[in-house]
A and B are shown apart, each in its own frame.
Chain A
């Protein structure tokens, strides 16, 4: 199963190395990791998306991360109501007669075109990774020349839903 784990860490040299090292040392399967500054000076925020067998494995990951001296806080936010976003840049082949078609795909996904050249255009899309995934699948037949994804970054919503109902709305 997929788990989203949020970390607040001290911004010290080697901290990212310690964390990624831990994933390989403990044989944890990591899908993405995104890192950046946080609201506190001297602290960074890391969001990891991991694949685990069961809940005891995800508990192990959380505990091992927590044990790191530079890690201030670890939360597995998967079961909370969260906002999770990923950004992807996609350079897709675009000849004049496919351009309009591509534009028509971009619109419902609220993606945007941020660069255009003679035979390609670069699309930026943000959203939950399912949405990014779906968009990439749609655009694939046109020929993806380059793709860069940031990985998910996430935190809990300001207000938590009480029931844990799964999403039934469209991902778009």
Chain B
């Protein structure tokens, strides 16, 4: 009886249904688990409804931290990260995150408050033309003009953000729309977007063509990008590479798509990639790009890029094919679908014994190196220790700079979806908040937030989230008392004129951590590192470790801007 009464009570709605109600229902329908949001005037009607919502709400201490956290969440969970910001300054504070997510194809749903419909365009208090501002850095954006549109728009937005080539979608909601009462009954509408029909299945003829090209090839390589990860296709990539015995090179963002400990893995290519990978791209006769976009930090000078290769390019975004590199075998498809088809072909593997030997020789002769005898604490050594002490199974989230490149080089990823970094935009301040999102997406995982002393100071305020939620993120600062990557460029290209790149005056990061109730340590030597890492990496508590690494260390090998991949410097000690 009691149950029945409760049922009828929820059925008959006594309260009028507002725009904010419709919004939260739509989010529940999309099974949203967490929202990264920051309140303010224009979103108060939404926040009032969130008061009773079951969805977890995380309050960053700056909207930019919130959107970066949502990016980390999206990268690890594969689900869109959801963000709410108020109008005006709240909305403009998320611009960097949108640009970052757009560049790295991360699905986000971002709600911004807007001034009431009647005053839009009048420079009202906290009004910003966020549609105009974000048009070039969103996959799509909406302004809600009528309350009844909310369910459809939210549904479309999730569809757009998470299908095809993923990306951020922004929904701008005027305050009166969120607060207003819906008069029509909620109608379920199918997504109808005639202009948006991503191609998933590969063209059969092109698949045949590639299969034949592989059989004929003497020097094939696969270049695997983040498309393999977004397409959840790492299993298929491994199967295909093994079937055809094709060696695999990764882009920065693709790391983990193919196991680093696999005999067919060559390494990461690009500006700070390994010798064998960059030479592999230069010397190959068949280059199979799967889900990479031939970014300039990968290709170096295009004139010297893969000069002898026939290029095949598998990408879900047709506009990427042929954008930077002429392509003879274009395959517009989802990575998984394309690889499935290629595996089915079961073509004759190439006869490429010599090529494999050449690659092996490059790998043996030109591995990554650093001075292992040096007295100081070498950042590369720390990275190797982090790898071994986590069995290569941690989720590694980085900021931008030297430490990011060392993580890419020395934390050898054997599994997919363990790597979060800002590649396309190179956003300092990204790493630490992104690690928070990554931890929320995988609460059991050991998450390493690897930051430089510079970039960490762009988002220290998010220590508050760690404190509040007691998230066991391990904050690892590679402290070289400098904006290291800038210092390196000034050393190499500007005759060591270190203009504003050294930061000898620093806060005590340990005390900063302690201010938020987080344990902090300074580590100066390998021996100290050994001991501490054993202790802190395996417990469920947050920690901040300030590693005082060698301030003069540079990232090598390196390709100077404008040079070709074969013109690496610093390939040998």
Contacts and interface: CB of A to CB of B under 8 A. Distances in A.
A72 B195 contact: yes
Contacts of B44: none
Given A14-B135, A17-B135, A64 B319 contact: yes
Given A10-B194, A21-B135, A72-B195, A66 B319 contact: yes
Interface in A26-67: 56, 59-60, 63-64, 66-67
Given A10-B194, A13-B145, A14-B141, A67 B136 contact: no
B322 A59 contact: yes
Interface residues of A, number: 21
B196 interface: yes
B101 to A, nearest CB: 16
Contacts of A13: 143, 145
B195 A17 contact: no
Interface in B195-249: 195-196
A18 interface: yes
A63 B317 CA distance: 9
B288 to A, nearest CB: 21
Interface residues of B, number: 20
B375 interface: no
A71 to B, nearest CB: 5
Nearest to B198: A67
B318 A66 contact: yes
B183 interface: no
A9 interface: yes
B323 interface: yes
Nearest to A13: B143
Given A13-B145, A14-B141, A69-B139, A56 B326 contact: yes
Contacts of A64: 319
B310 interface: no
Nearest to B139: A69
Contacts of A118: none
Contacts of B139: 69
A59 B131 CA distance: 27
A130 B326 CA distance: 34
A70 B194 CA distance: 8
Contacts of B326: 56
Nearest to A10: B195
B146 to A, nearest CB: 12
A71 B135 contact: no
A47 to B, nearest CB: 18
A69 B318 CA distance: 14
29 contacts: A10-B194, A10-B195, A13-B143, A14-B131, A14-B135, A17-B131, A17-B135, A18-B135, A21-B136, A22-B136, A25-B136, A56-B326, A60-B319, A60-B322, A60-B323, A63-B319, A63-B323, A64-B319, A66-B318, A66-B319, A68-B195, A69-B139, A69-B140, A69-B160, A69-B193, A69-B195, A70-B195, A72-B194, A72-B195
Given A21-B136, A66-B319, A71-B195, 18 more contacts: A10-B194, A10-B195, A13-B143, A13-B145, A21-B135, A22-B136, A56-B326, A59-B322, A60-B322, A63-B319, A63-B323, A64-B319, A66-B318, A68-B195, A69-B140, A69-B160, A69-B195, A72-B195
Interface of A: 9-10, 13-14, 17-18, 21-22, 25, 56, 59-60, 63-64, 66-72
Interface of B: 131-132, 135-136, 139-141, 143, 145, 160, 193-196, 317-319, 322-323, 326
Q: Which 3 A-B pairs have the closest CB atoms?
A: A63-B319, A72-B195, A69-B196
